[in-house]
Amino acid sequence: MSRATERHPAAPDTAASQGLYRWRAGIYDLQLAPYDAIRAEAIATLQLQPGQTVLDLGCGTGMSLDLLQAAVGPQGRVVAVDQCPEMVDEARRRVQRHGWRNISLACAPIDQAVLPEGADAALFHFTHDILQTPAAVDHVLAHLRPGARVAASGLQWAPAGWGVFNGLVWLAAMHSVTTLQGLGQPWRALADHGIELSLQTHLGNTVYVAGGCLPASAGGRPGRHNRG
């Protein structure tokens, strides 16, 4: 199933993605709650420090904002972006409810979003379509400082020996992504930009957390993948 799908991939569909998430906005927190430990692990991978600026790409209803804003502190900044208006509305209500003052929210496709220059870190949590959109990845990484930390997490096809779990991956993907392209190595676009990634897998190798640093100078080598 997965091999055939990846031989005939489809590009991410922005309109279809907005449709997928529009109806989920009100129940998204409940649906994603089982992955809170994965979210916390991905954010910890960023090794955020007080005063830093972190980008939350595909922020959804803002479930990562509590951990992110606490890590960078009142002198730091969280810039959260999502293309679905209903999701951003939920995130904005979350920010207002908690009175967080170090968070900026924007509703835009990632490749068109206004991002700060020289950000210190970027989070891609369950944002498969974004990672499979080269213009979006290029745009984000161009706004990070050299040596900035990047973390990505989400679904992946289970490798040989674990393929029995791929039916669950497919079922979850049908409700969250518009393309199955790249599910074998969802983080590949980051590695191709020279980010040397450390990879952790969970839940029968169906969920990954990948983290690493942007090269200190332009033109870095494609990254290696270290399983830990």
Its pTM stands at: 0.84
Q: How many CA atoms lie within 13 A of 163 on its CB side?
A: 5
pLDDT in tens, 32-58: 778 899 999 999 999 999 999 999 999
Domain ranges of the chain: 2-227
Domain 2-227 adopts which CATH fold?
Answer: Rossmann fold (3.40.50)
**Whether 127 contacts 58, CB under 8 Å:** yes
Contact present, 48 and 102 (Cβ < 8 Å)? no
Distance CA 81, CA 84 (A): 9
> Which pair of tokens denotes residue 81?
């972006």
Q: 10-residue block means of pLDDT along the chain (228 residues)? A: 43 64 65 86 98 97 97 98 94 97 96 97 96 96 97 90 75 76 93 95 92 76 34
**At 16, which helix (H) or strand (E)?**
helix 14-22
Which residues lie across from 152 on neighbouring strands?
A: 124, 210
- The β-bridge partners of 200 are 209
